[in-house]
Amino acid sequence: MKMTFRWYGSQMDPIPLRYIKQIPNMSGVVSSLMDMPAGALWPTERIRALKQEVNDAGLELEVIESVNIHEDIKLGLPSRDEYIDNYRQTVARLGQAGVKVICYNFMPVFDWTRTDLAKPRLDGAAVLAYDQSIIDCITDPQAFADRIQQGAGDFEMAGWEPERMAELKKLFAQYASVSHEDLFRNLQYFLKAVIPVCEQYDVKLAIHPDDPPWDIFGLPRICTNAENVRRILSLVDSPYNGLTLCSGSMGSNPCNDIPAMVREFGAQGRIHFAHVRNIRFTGPGQFEEAAHFSGDGSLDLYEIMKAYHDVGFDGYIRPDHGRMIWDEQGRAGYGLYDRALGAVYLSGLWEALEKGSK
């Protein structure tokens, strides 16, 4: 197991790499070229510069999160082949730079969504939270997007560029005729084109679950449960077509059994990247982020980590969204302090599991 830490790059992340290096048992960071638009070809010199910066801090850069998928690929438009070719070339360049895993998602229009970026808790921490009833009250997604662009409201659309937000009405019109089956077919088309390059350059693709794992705004979502994950992995039956199992994303639907999913897909060698975090259920379709410690949330992280240990997981793992604690300011959910606590907690569980198995 390799412990890693999400880092957005020196231009966008206030956390210095030297701080991350000081977290015990930290092997590397998970990063990206955050300013590269979806569908663009990543420049070799920028990949090398990012890797050099991370390596100079004494850390590895073996996981990229994310190389975003252009909407034309998800929509299955004729223009998708151009963007897929760029993706293939980017995979090759990342592989040549020593990257081993690319985390990506196939969510239409929106990436992960929250309805509150700083919900106060009784202990003084602030957390990300989601309430489906608030989403259900939104009748005009374009006006909703305009509010976000203007800095109004507490919603979060991760990874959204202003140009795409401005095209929201057009995108909704395009997706009006796209079904779940269409999305599966379009994902298969993408994977059939990209996985051979992954195999050639030894780079594993790892799809991230939809967050939350159900349809929102009437848009189809397909990486939502174990049944659909089985189907996604069978679209191209290659060990390079794998999963980023995010316990918080998939686990926000209480019907999803995360330890069982770890055991099933981990035993098959198809989990290439693990996001291990906790959430607290607050009502139907409602949840908030919690500390990684099992006693703080609704998920049992000991059982999740035990499942990873039992299947002999030797891939990459990272703590995910943390609380904002100790008056820390910064990117919501991605402060240093609580995620560092989470990393140490997960490492401690792993050490106990390792010693207990001897």
In order along its 358 residues, the chain shows pLDDT tens digits of 999 999 999 988 999 999 999 999 999 999 999 999 999 999 999 999 999 999 999 999 999 999 999 999 999 999 999 999 999 999 999 999 999 999 999 999 888 888 888 899 999 999 999 999 988 887 776 666 666 555 545 455 544 555 666 677 788 889 999 999 999 999 999 999 999 999 999 999 999 999 999 999 889 999 999 999 999 999 999 999 999 999 999 999 999 999 999 999 999 999 999 999 999 999 999 999 999 998 999 999 999 999 999 999 999 999 999 999 999 988 889 999 999 999 999 999 999 999 997 7
Q: Which domain holds residue 56?
A: 2-356
Give the DSSP per-residue string, 173-205.
Answer: HHHTT--HHHHHHHHHHHHHHHHHHHHHHT-EE
Instruction: Give the span between the Cα atoms of 298 and 308, in whole angstroms.
Output: 19
Using an 8 Å Cβ cutoff, are 204 and 198 in contact?
A: yes
User: Which element (helix H / strand E) includes 319?
Assistant: strand 316-319
pLDDT of residue 107: 95
The three-class DSSP label of residue 2 is strand
pLDDT of residue 163: 62
Residue 163, token pair as written in the block: 């140009």
The three-class DSSP label of residue 223 is coil
Residue 78, token pair as written in the block: 């004729």
CATH number assigned to the domain comprising residue 95: 3.20.20.150
pLDDT of residue 309: 98
Residue 50, token pair as written in the block: 């990012």
Using an 8 Å Cβ cutoff, are 312 and 299 in contact?
A: no
User: Which element (helix H / strand E) includes 127?
Assistant: strand 126-131
pLDDT of residue 52: 98
pLDDT of residue 150: 55
pLDDT of residue 162: 59
Phi, psi of 60 (to 5 degrees): -95, 155
User: Which element (helix H / strand E) includes 28?
Assistant: strand 26-31
Q: How many domains does the chain have?
A: 1
pLDDT of residue 159: 46
Name 308's Cβ contacts closer than 8 Å, sequence gap at least 6.
1, 262, 266, 274, 317
pLDDT of residue 155: 53
Give me the active site residues, please. 208, 246, 275, 320-321, 334
Instruction: Give the span between the Cα atoms of 339 and 327, in whole angstroms.
Output: 14
pLDDT of residue 308: 98
pLDDT of residue 152: 45
